[in-house]
A and B are shown apart, each in its own frame.
Chain A
Amino acid sequence: MSDLPVLLEARAVAKHFGGVKALRDVSLTIRQGEVYGLIGPNGAGKTTFFNCMTGLYVPDGGGFVFAGAPLVADAPHRAAERGIARTFQNIRLFGNMTALENVMVGRHVRTRAGVFGAILRNGATRDEEAAIRRRAEELLHYVGIDDRADDLAKNLSYGDQRRLEIARALATEPKLLCLDEPAAGMNGTETEELRVLIEGIRADGTTILLIEHDVKLVMGLCDRVAVLDYGALVIEDVPAVVQHDPRVIEAYIGVAA
Chain B
Amino acid sequence: MNKWLTPRSSLGLVLVAAALIALPFIAGMGGQAWVRILNFAILYAFLALGLNIVVGFAGLLDLGYIAFYAVGAYTWALLASPHFGLHLPFWAILPIGAVLACAAGALLGAPTLKLRGDYLAIVTLGFGEIVRIFMNNLNAPVNITNGAQGITLIDPVIIGQFKFSATSTIFGITVSGPQKYYYLLVLLALGVILVNYRLQHSRIGRAWQAIREDEIAAKAIGINTRNVKLLAFAMGASFGGIAGGIFAAMQGFVSPESFSLIESIMILAMVVLGGMGHIPGVILGAVLLTILPEALRYAVVPVQKALFGEVLADPESLRMLVFGLALVLVMRFRPAGLWPSPERRRELAEKVR
Contacts and interface: CB of A to CB of B under 8 A. Distances in A.
Interface of A: 54-56, 75-77, 79-81, 85-86, 88, 92-97, 101, 104-109, 111, 113-115, 117-119, 121, 125, 128-129, 132, 152, 168-169, 171-172
B343 A152 contact: yes
A108 B346 contact: no
A108 B217 contact: no
A212 to B, nearest CB: 19
A115 B204 contact: yes
Contact of B199 (A56, A77, A118): A118
Interface string B185-226: 000000000110011001111110110011011111111110
B235 interface: yes
A109 B217 contact: no
A203 B209 CA distance: 33
Contacts of A79: 220, 222
B223 to A, nearest CB: 5
A171 B347 CA distance: 26
Interface residues of B, number: 30
A172 B221 contact: yes
Nearest to A50: B220
B213 A97 contact: yes
A195 B4 CA distance: 45
B235 A105 contact: no
Interface of B: 194-195, 198-199, 202-207, 209-210, 213-214, 216-225, 231, 235, 343-344, 346-347
Given A56-B219, A108-B222, A168-B221, A94 B214 contact: yes
A31 to B, nearest CB: 23
Given A79-B220, A95-B214, A104-B206, 10 more contacts: A76-B220, A88-B217, A94-B209, A96-B343, A108-B210, A114-B204, A115-B199, A121-B198, A125-B202, A129-B202
Given A118-B199, A152-B343, A105 B206 contact: yes
Contacts of A88: 217, 220
Nearest 9 CB-CB pairs, A to B? Answer: A80-B222, A109-B222, A118-B202, A94-B213, A76-B219, A92-B217, A77-B224, A113-B203, A105-B210
